[in-house]
Amino acid sequence: MSTHVDAPAPVERKAPTTTQIGRSIPRLESRAKVTGEAEYIHNLRLPGMLYGKIFRSTVPHGRIVRIDTRAAKELPGVFAVITGEDVRALIPDPYYGPAFHDQPVLAIDKVRYVGEPVAVALSEDPHIAEHAANLIEAEYEDLPAVFDEVEAAAATQVFVHDALRPAGMFPDLKHLHGRTKTNVALDFTLRRNDVEQGFAQADYVFEHVFRTPTVAHTALEPIVSVAEPRGPQALTIHTSSQSPSFVRSEVARLLGWPENRVRVRTAFLGGGFGAKLYIKLEAMVAVLALMVKRPVKISLTMEEQFYTITKHATTVHLKTGVTKAGKITARQCEAWWNGGAYADIGPRVTQKSGFTAAGPYDIENVALNSYAVYTNLPPAGALRGFGIPQLVWAYESHTDLIARELEIDPLEFRRANILRDGRPQATGTIMHDIATVEVLDALSSAMRWGESFDRGKGSIRRGHGIAIGFKACIAPTTSGAIVNLYGDGSCAVYCGTVDMGQGSDTVMAQIAAEVLGLDPQSVSVIHPDTDVTPYDMATLGSRSTFHMGNAVRLAALEAREKLFAIAGKALEADPSLLTVADNGVSAPSGRRLSIADVIKSTFLMQAGNIIGTGSFRPTYTSPSQGDGQSDDITPFWMVGAVGAEVEVDTETGRVRVTRLVNVADVGTPINPGIVTRQLNGGALMQLGFTMSEAVRFDNGQAVNASLADYKIPGILDIPDQTLAKIVAGCQSTGPFGAKGVGETGTFAVSPAIANAVHDAVGVRIFDLPLTPETVYRALRAAQHNPLEDQQ
C-alpha cells in the first residue's frame, strides 16, 4: 500500500537525533565519474541510429515562403530531410509547451526568432547530416520584429503570436487563458493593503530602474536526446532531461497515445541549471524516429544551446516609501520578463518570483505587476534561481541606495526592516522556519561588518557590500519513491530525481539509510526511468531534497514497518518496540538479528524483497487572481545573503572581487559537504552573470554564441577567498529538518558586488554585467567627463 501524506503543520524547530544525517560522506557516484564509467546520454550509440542536424532560421520574424531541401536530399549518405510540413502530416497539431502549446516541433508557416529549427537532415554519419543541413535553403517574407521586453509589452501592431493556447497541465498554471493581439503571456498582480496610503505615510520616496541581460546556461554537457521506436505504437526516449515524467506526458499527448507507450529514461547529467527542463529535443527526436522507423539522435553544439533556451532578460522598476527613521512603508514593483519567442515556463517564473518581489522585508503596503512577455529572441525559461537573482539584483541595489541616502548603515537598515518568523509575507502567508535574522547576523560576523576597512590607495580603491534575498519553493508538486530492501540487507531507491551534479543520489541514499539503519554505501539509487521509477514533477527549484527526500523517507518507513513485522516474529518481540541500526534489528530483550537473517526467517533463504512506497505533496493554497494573496503559498522558504569585497581600478574600470562570503539558511543539512559545494558553485555561477556574461544581439542575431566570445568565469576570475557559511536550523516539514539549497547561493551575489563597487568609488551601476567598460563609463560620467559617445 502506498503511503501518502500531506505536509504536517509546523512544529518546534529542533532537528532529530540521527546517525547518517549531517555526515559529509563522499558522493556515491564519484568513482564512476572520475574513472569515466558513469553513463551519459551523450555517449549512447544504438544499432541503426541516425544522427540529426538542424537547419535554423536566419531571420527574427518571417513568413516561410519556400524551403528547398533538394540539394540536401541528393547528398550521398543522407537518409531523409524533414520539415515542419512533414511533421504536420503525421501530427495535425504539433505544438508543445508546459505553459502554452505555442512551440512547433519544427517551424510551421512562420519563424519567430533567429535560430529557430526549420528542418532536420538525417544520416548515419553526423558529418554528412551537418553538411546536408548546410545545403538547405529557405526564403522568408520578413515581418516586423520586437526585441525589448518593455516595448513588446506595449506593442499594438507587432505580435509574436496570433493567439495563445494554455497547456493546462500544471495546477499552478491553470489560471492562464487564451489571448490574442498581445505579447503579454501573463500579467501577475500582487496587492497587499494600500500602496498609495503607504507612500503618503513616507517621508521619502525613492525610484529606480534596473536591468539584466539575456544569459546562457552553458552546462558542460550539451542538450541531447535519442528516440528509439519499439514497433509502430511504442517509443523509448533516452534524454538528458531534468523532467522525465513531463517528457513522457507531453510526448504521449502530442502523439495521442496513452503514457504507457512512451518510456523516458535518463542518466547522469553534465549540468542542467534549468536548460534541460520540459521539452527541448525530445518531441523532435520522437517524431523523427517514428517517421523514419529508426533510432534518431540529436545532440546540440554549444552554439546551438544559445538558440534553444536562455535566462530571461529583465527590466525592473522599483518605487519605495521610507520614513526618516528608516522604516519602509510601501514598495511598488513592475517587472518585465523577456521570454523570447516561446513561453516555455516563463509564466511560472513571472508569477513565482513575483511572490517575493518586495524582498525579504516586513512591508505593510505592496503593489506588484509582473509581465511575461513574448519577443523575437530565443526562448527563455528556467535558470538556477528561477527569476529570483534578477529581482534581488534590483531590490537589493535599490535598498542599498536608500540606506546610503538616509545615511543609515546598510546592514542595520536591512535588520530594522527584515521579515521575521511569524510575520506575514507580501502574499499573506505567515513565515515559518525562516532564519532571516540569523543569516544577517552570520553575514555581519563573517564580513567583520563595522570594523575598520582598508579603502585602498592610488587608482585602486576598495569597498565592501552586502545583500540578502529569499525564494519561495515551487508548489504544488508531488514526488513518489519506492524503497526495495533486498534479501542480503542492501537496498535500492527508485525515484525520479535526476542527479545532474548536485549530489541528490547521495542525499537520497543517506535518507533511506537513516531510516533503515544501513550504511549509505549499501544503498543504490536508480536513474529515472518512467517504466520503473515513480512520478516526480521535475528536478528543479531546489525542491528535490525536500519533496523527494520526504517521499524516500516515507517509503523507507513503510519498508521498515514491514521489516519489523517479520522481525517481531523472529525475535519474539512487539514490532512497535524494535529498533534498527548497523544493518540489524534489535529487541528490548537484547536479542538482535541482521536484516539479512530477518528476511531469511520468512523466505528461508536469501530471497524475497521488502518494498515500501511513499509519495509526498505539501499543502498549498492558490493565490487569489485578484490580489495574489494566499495563506499557504509555499512549503518552505530559502534565505541567502552575500558579502563582497572588491578592488576597483579607477583608470580601467576593472573590478576584482577579492572576497565573497555566502551565507544560507539550509535547515538541517543532510550532507554539509554537498551543501557547501552547492553554495559555492551557485555563487561562482552568479559571479559570471554579474561580471561578464551577456548574450549580445544584433537585430535578433546572437553575436557571441560561443565560449570564445561569451565569457564565463575562469580560474583567474575566482575571488581570492570564497566562503560558504551554513546557518543550520530545522525545517519542521522537511526530511530530518532539511530544506532545499541548490539555488540559494545565487540570490544575492550581483547586488552585493555592485554595492561594494558603489562603496569603493561612489558610482552606481543599474544594468548588469559590471564589465570594465560599463564601470569605466560610469566613473567618467560621475566625474562630469563622459566619453564622446556618452555626451
Catalytic sites, residue numbers: 743
Cell 547586488 sits on residue: 751
CA distance 469 to 462: 24
Q: CA 695, 699, 700 angle in degrees (round to 5)? A: 50
3-state SS class at 509:
helix
CA distance 543 to 744: 12
Grid cell at residue 341: 519567442
Q: What is the DSSP string of 63-109?
A: EEEEEE-HHHHHSTTEEEEEEHHHHHHH-SS-EE-SSBS-EESS--S
User: Would strands 78-83 and 609-617 be described as parallel, antiparallel, or unpaired?
Assistant: unpaired
Return the exposure string of 120-146: e unless at least 16 CB atoms fall within 10 Å of the residue's CB, then b: bbbbeeeebbbbbbebbebebeebebb
Contact between 282 and 251 (Cβ < 8 Å): yes
3-state SS class at 238:
strand
Helix/strand/coil (H, E, C) string of 600-613? HHHHCCCCCEEEEE
Contact between 112 and 64 (Cβ < 8 Å): no
Cell 498554471 sits on residue: 173
Grid cell at residue 566: 517479520
Contact between 268 and 499 (Cβ < 8 Å): yes
Biggest CA pair distance of the chain: 90
3-state SS class at 493:
strand
Cell 518531441 sits on residue: 283
Neighbours of 648 (CB within 10 A): 28
Q: CA 752, 753, 759 angle in degrees (round to 5)? A: 90
3-state SS class at 565:
helix
Give 303's contacts (C-beta < 8 A, 6+ positions apart).
Answer: 705, 706
Query: Which runs of E-coded beta strand occur in 595-708?
Result: 609-617, 637-649, 655-667, 697-698, 701-702
CA distance 601 to 593: 10
**Torsions phi, psi for 338 (to 5 deg):** -80, 100
Nearest residue to 595 (alpha-carbon basis) of 451, 483, 728: 483
Q: How far is CA 239 from CA 283, 299, 318, 728, in A?
A: 11, 10, 41, 36
DSSP class of residue 788? G
Distance of alpha carbon 351 from the chain centroid = 14
What's the length of the chain?
791
CA distance 235 to 622: 36
Distance of alpha carbon 426 from the chain centroid = 23
CA distance 632 to 735: 19
